[in-house]
Amino acid sequence: MRRKSIILKKLLTIVLLTLATLNIAFSNPVLAADIANGAKVFSVQCAGCHINGGNIIRRGKTLKQKALKKYGMDSIEAVTSIVTNGKNNMSAYKDRLTTQEIEDVSAYVLEQAEKDWR
């Protein structure tokens, strides 16, 4: 009986770890985004002000990793929100881009920030 209990606990642990891994994989919106499309959207809609992750309007508010963290813009939700709704000098794009395009460009921005825009 003790042996069955140990085997059952190990099996349960494996199942829980597998489910946790799948949950991470399926709940991450960046995985659902099309980074290549995000790059296209960025080049047409964003690069005018944010070339190479910079900011020609407000120098400190760049798309570089350090600035994104400093201003709380280092999550897919935060970037998607500001692209959608705008803020201060940043225009809203909810009327110009689809939800998918906003998700794609947001994922692209975060990926490029991780790569230091290289």
pLDDT band at 27 (very low <50, low <70, confident <90, very high): very low
pLDDT, tens digit (0-9, with 9 covering 90-100), for 34-58: 999 999 999 999 999 999 999 999 9
Question: What is residue 33's predicted lDDT score, i.e. its pLDDT?
Answer: 87
pLDDT band at 2 (very low <50, low <70, confident <90, very high): confident
- Among left, alpha and beta (phi > 0; psi -120 to 50; other), residue 90 is beta
Closest CA to 96 of 35, 44, 34: 44
Percent of the chain with pLDDT over 70: 75
Question: What is residue 4's predicted lDDT score, i.e. its pLDDT?
Answer: 67
Which residues touch 2 (CB under 8 Å, ≥6 apart)? none
